[in-house]
Amino acid sequence: MNEAPFPPARRARDPAATQRSILDAAFIEFSDNGLDGARVDAIAARAGTTVRMIYYYFASKDGLYRAVLEHAYAGIRTAERALGLEALPPEDAIRRLAEFVFDYEEANPRFVRLVSIENIHRAAHIARSETIQGLNATVISTIGAILARGQDAGVFRRDAEPIDVHLLMTAFCFFRVSNRHTLGTIFGQDPLSPALRGRHRGMLVESVLAFLRAR
């Protein structure tokens, strides 16, 4: 008598997979278009779900954006931890870290864009996420340990602070990716072109080490 003997169950995927596909789709849409530019509809379509599911799992567009940010930050910090810098001599550790940052930002332009976007929003969303807050202190202490070892060994200047080194290092790596488009348009040369890449990777390491060795 009932129309269908079986429940409709058109998309009986497991919740974890649905959540994951939403997150992946959101990562793409947000990094492509920004927080204001991203469309909830487009995310749902890309994820192969409905808008309703986004609200079901992430409560709001903002909530989803925050989840994406957390996921993205977790990625880089995890990779950082895997570098095994403690085992290396100070100068090698710095070199390795610098090259890692260089490679990571280049390989993950969507992460770079996301961070730019979050800065446009004055970091309001990561400020509300304890997850991210917790994750990040580590880099600084990691660099701190390297610096201490190098200073004790007399190869690094004594007045360099971990945050300085982090900035010096990350600025270059981040900037060439984050500002790729304006730089490329204005100077008529893509800063990520293979022609420049090798030279710049060397430059980064050199300038950081040169700074640390000074005095």
* Candidate segments 4-12, 68-76, 110-118, 168-176, binder of DNA by CB under 7 A: 4-12
Candidate residues 95, 96, 180, 201; the one interacting with a second copy per rule CB under 8 A: 180
* Candidate segments 32-40, 110-118, 164-172, 178-186, binder of DNA by CB under 7 A: 32-40
Candidate residues 108, 116, 131, 151; the one interacting with a second copy per rule CB under 8 A: 116
Q: What is the torsional sign of CA 195, 201, 206, 211?
A: positive
* Smallest gap from residue 1 Cβ to DNA (A): 17
| Residue 149 binds which entry of DNA, a second copy, none, CB below 5-8 Å type-dependent | none
Question: CA 207 to CA 141: how far, in whole Å?
Answer: 22
- 60 near DNA (CB under 7 A): yes
Question: 71-75 long-range contacts, Cβ below 8 Å, gap at least 24?
Answer: 71/23, 71/27, 72/27, 72/110, 72/111, 72/114, 72/115, 73/126, 73/131, 73/132, 73/135, 73/136, 74/131, 74/135, 75/108, 75/111
Separation of first and last alpha carbons in the chain = 89
Strands (E), the chain: none
In the block, tokens 């003997």 appear at 5
Question: CA 204 to CA 169: how far, in whole Å?
Answer: 7
Q: Which amino acid is at 179?
A: N
Candidate residues 23, 27, 49, 100; the one interacting with DNA per rule CB under 7 A: 49
- 38 near DNA (CB under 7 A): yes
- 39 near DNA (CB under 7 A): yes
- 213 near DNA (CB under 7 A): no
| Residue 164 binds which entry of a second copy, DNA, none, CB below 5-8 Å type-dependent | a second copy
| Residue 207 binds which entry of DNA, a second copy, none, CB below 5-8 Å type-dependent | a second copy
- 103 near a second copy (CB under 8 A): no
What are the Cα distances from residue 118, in Å, to 47, 124, 204? 23, 7, 25
Binding site for a second copy (CB under 8 A): 33-37, 113, 115-123, 126-127, 132-133, 136-137, 140, 159, 161, 163-164, 166-168, 170-172, 174-176, 178-187, 189, 191, 196, 199-200, 203, 206-208, 210-211, 214
